Amino acid sequence: MKLATELYPEQAKRWPAEGRHILAHYDDHTIIVYQAYRPSIGRFTIEHGYFGGGFSLSRMSWIKPNFLWMMYRCGWGTKEGQEIILGIRLRRDFFDSILAQAVQSSYDDGLFPSREQWQKALATSAVRLQWDPDHDPSGAKLERRAVQLGLRGEVLEAFSKHELLEVIDMTEFVAEQRLHAASREFADLRTPIEQVYVPSDPAVRKWLGLASVGAEPAAALDGGRAADFPEFTGSQRGRCR
């Protein structure tokens, strides 16, 4: 698999400055999400194309569609237990089903008539959604909000075993770009090409409280335009459904 990249300063010009947005690398049928693991889990998953090596189905596992949000959380691969960075390709249909099941981690009276009903939904949902401040490559907070999704139960089992189309080892790429991220200008920093991802179902968009982008969703990234950009090729082994 070839994952197209672009200079961060050029991408940042196109991204919304504020509001709730899902920034992601996607094509017509699939989307990439990111996770960081200790070597035993990360290397097993790269080698076998599904999660193992100590991966637990009894704990909530968080996925992030925004590459820089993942870099903020894992310290560009320097935090203990988060040294191996994975890009995980999923079907967009499966990702959208995750979004549709998600319950926000903080109470919103526009979504639930009472705090008690929200707490019940949160306790029983297989997907937890959290909006947090997005960050630039240095870790500085931005006005834009980034999403992360916590999976458990049957959704986590499907994600970890059956829905992984490809597992991409991003670790070497992250290490190379970490040096460029240390520069305040970020002039040479490359990141996977990302655009605002808009779920096709208007009800899901409303449920998530997504901000408007003021236009129709952009064309998928890998549908031809990605060929104009340099590519990062990570070692990967995938398993198709």
Q: Match 């070692």 to its residue by tokens.
A: 235
Give domain status of residue 109, yes or no: yes
Give domain status of residue 222, yes or no: no
Cα-only R_g, the chain:
17
The residue-averaged pLDDT of 26-43 equals 97
Give domain status of residue 234, yes or no: no
Q: What is the residue range of 91's domain? A: 3-216
pLDDT of residue 167: 97
Per DSSP, the chain holds a count of helices (H) and strands (E) of 8, 13
What is the pTM for the complete model shown?
A: 0.87
Give domain status of residue 237, yes or no: no
Joined together, the tokens standing for residue 68 give 């820089």
The torsion of the CA quartet 198, 202, 204, 209, rounded to 10 degrees, works out to: 80
Please determine, for residue 110, whether its predicted confidence score (pLDDT) is greater than 90. no
**pLDDT tens, 198-236?**
999 999 999 999 998 754 444 455 543 333 334 444 444
Residue 127: pLDDT band (50, 70, 90) is very high
Please determine, for residue 176, whether its predicted confidence score (pLDDT) is greater than 50. yes
Q: Three-class SS string for 55-101?
A: CCCCCCEEEECCHHHHHHHHCCCCCCCCCEEEEEEEEHHHHHHHHHH
**Which whole-number Å values give the CA distances from 136 to 69, 87, 118, 139, 224, in the listed order?**
8, 19, 32, 5, 28
Give domain status of residue 231, yes or no: no
pLDDT of residue 236: 43
Give domain status of residue 14, yes or no: yes
Of 26-30, 78-82, 205-209, the least confident: 205-209
pLDDT of residue 3: 86
Give domain status of residue 228, yes or no: no
The residue-averaged pLDDT of 59-64 equals 97
Task: For the chain, list the strands marked E by DSSP.
Answer: 3-7, 19-20, 22-24, 30-37, 61-63, 84-91, 103-104, 127-135, 141-151, 166-169, 190-192, 195-197, 231-232
Longest dimension (CA), the chain: 51
pLDDT of residue 212: 87
pLDDT of residue 214: 59
Q: How many domains does the chain have?
A: 1
Residue 161 near residue 50 (C-beta atoms within 8 A): yes
Give domain status of residue 9, yes or no: yes
Average pLDDT over the chain reads 88
Report percent pLDDT > 90 for the chain: 77
